[in-house]
Amino acid sequence: MAELIWSVDGDLAGELNMAHDRAMWRAFEADPSPGVRLRVYGWSPPALSLGFHQDQSAVDLQELEARGYSLVRRPTGGAAVLHVDEITYAVAAPLGLVGLGRAVQEIHDNIAGSLLELFAGIGLGVELGGAGPPRDFACFSAAGGHEMTVAGRKLVGSALRRGRRAFLQHGSILCGDGHLELGSFMAGLDSVAQGRARQRLEQQTCTLRSLSVELDQEGFAGQLAALLAARVGMPVRRVQDAPIRHGAEGP
């Protein structure tokens, strides 16, 4: 029976998070039977994730190592994100599922629709971002049309990978200020430039904490699961194990 399966995986290492996300997507690539997989998670230790094609030479690997942070590459596109204090979600499903769609913009719009409903339900006026300025090293320096802002400042960044039969879309909801440190891990920046990078991100982003909103992985996941399930017309089932432990393909 088609169902939306969801899990709250807690704070995991970056490599494991990306492996689980890829496994979810590849499971549907291998078997595109109707269904949806949602996982919600955090990052421990903090990690810097690069977009699929992003140049790693822009990263100060020594500084990352010195802080005990990890470097991972997402299977999706976009720019760098420093995952410190955030709620991360990942959705995978076969292409063409009623309620989620097939076209890139359609998938983004449908998932964004459920997220907008979630935020409205907790009294937060979140909007979809505009076209945004040209691509920067940092994901949160600009908001694409499918991403989310509050009063013009980016709260949610997301990215998509579309395969032949299935997609993976995942995103970060900023909870605290940890993402502002991204400039500290950019190669070749002196302290002044790092300060400017931090200032730019500070001006261009907001967080749940700055908006006086308390939300945790459990609360977020339960609500998003229900909203997505209503959108696709499927029952929900919560599981305790992350995707790979369910026997899905590894990375």
Partner 1 sequence: MRPTDRNYTREHEWVLQEGDEIVVGITDHAASELGDIVYLDLPDTGSELTAGESMGSIETVKAVEELFAPVSGEVVAVNEDLADSPEIVNSSPYEDGWFLRIKSPGGGTDVVELLNAEEYDEMVAGG
Regarding 57 and contact with partner 1 (CB under 8 A), the answer is no
Please say which residue, 19 or 180, places its beta carbon nearer to partner 1. Answer: 19
State the burial class of residue 5 (Cβ atoms within 10 Å of its Cβ: 0-12, 13-18, 19+).
buried
**Side-chain-side CA neighbours of residue 17 (13 Å):** 33
Please say which residue, 1 or 164, places its beta carbon nearer to partner 1. Answer: 164
Please identify which residue in 20, 108, 179, 231 interacts with partner 1, judged by CB under 8 A: 108
d(CA 77, CA 171): 11
CB 189 within 8 A of CB 201: no
CB of 249 to partner 1, least distance (A): 16
Single out the residue of 171, 192, 175, 170 nearest to residue 183, CA to CA. Answer: 192
Of 1-9, 32-40, 143-151, 222-230, the window that binds partner 1 (rule: CB under 8 A) is 143-151
Please say which residue, 149 or 184, places its beta carbon nearer to partner 1. Answer: 149
Regarding 30 and contact with partner 1 (CB under 8 A), the answer is no
Which of the residues are catalytic?
Answer: 139
Please identify which residue in 49, 70, 76, 217 interacts with partner 1, judged by CB under 8 A: 76
Q: Residue 251 has which token pair?
A: 């990375």
Single out the residue of 102, 106, 151 nearest to residue 126, CA to CA. Answer: 151
Please say which residue, 123 or 164, places its beta carbon nearer to partner 1. Answer: 164
Regarding 52 and contact with partner 1 (CB under 8 A), the answer is yes
d(CA 244, CA 203): 38
CB of 146 to partner 1, least distance (A): 6
Please identify which residue in 1, 53, 123, 191 interacts with partner 1, judged by CB under 8 A: 53
d(CA 112, CA 50): 22
Please identify which residue in 146, 170, 179, 231 interacts with partner 1, judged by CB under 8 A: 146
Please say which residue, 5 or 156, places its beta carbon nearer to partner 1. Answer: 156
Distances (CA, A) of 139 to 36, 54, 77, 243: 26, 11, 10, 26
> Which residues pair with residue 40 across a beta bridge?
8, 89
Regarding 200 and contact with partner 1 (CB under 8 A), the answer is no
Contact string 154-173 vs partner 1 (x = CB under 8 A): -----xxxxxx---------
Please say which residue, 48 or 79, places its beta carbon nearer to partner 1. Answer: 79
Please identify which residue in 46, 144, 171, 183 interacts with partner 1, judged by CB under 8 A: 144
Regarding 56 and contact with partner 1 (CB under 8 A), the answer is no
By the criterion CB under 8 A, which residues form the site for partner 1?
51-53, 75-77, 102-105, 108, 135, 144-146, 159-164
